[in-house]
Amino acid sequence: MHESLDKIERYVISKVREIRETKKVTQEELSLSIGKNITFISQVEAPSKKAKYNVVHLNLIAKALDCSPKDFWPEKPL
């Protein structure tokens, strides 16, 4: 993830990736399931990009991955 992203943004992106991979969902499948272009998730997960999720994205991703948006957040502040 791009170094300009805040620690919490990098954490959330990593958790989304972890859950997505555990559920064997590709980046393309997840992008399309939330109504984004096929490269959206790959751009967010790419180390060289500054792309990040907003709360609407996280809610849609939680629905698509059948989990809670809370699953993407740490228990304590970072």
pLDDT band at 2 (very low <50, low <70, confident <90, very high): low
Domains and CATH numbers, the chain: 7-67 (1.10.260.40)
Q: What percent of the chain lies above the pLDDT cut of 90?
A: 91
Counting other chains too, the contacts that 50-55 makes at CB distance below 8 Å and 24 or more residues apart are: 50/2, 50/4, 50/5, 52/5, 52/9, 52/12, 52/13, 53/9, 53/12, 53/13, 53/16
pTM of the model: 0.92
How high is the pLDDT of residue 48? 87
Residue 16 one-letter amino acid: V
Place of tokens 């959330």: 12
- Per-residue pLDDT of 43-69, as tens digits, reads 999 988 999 999 999 999 999 999 999
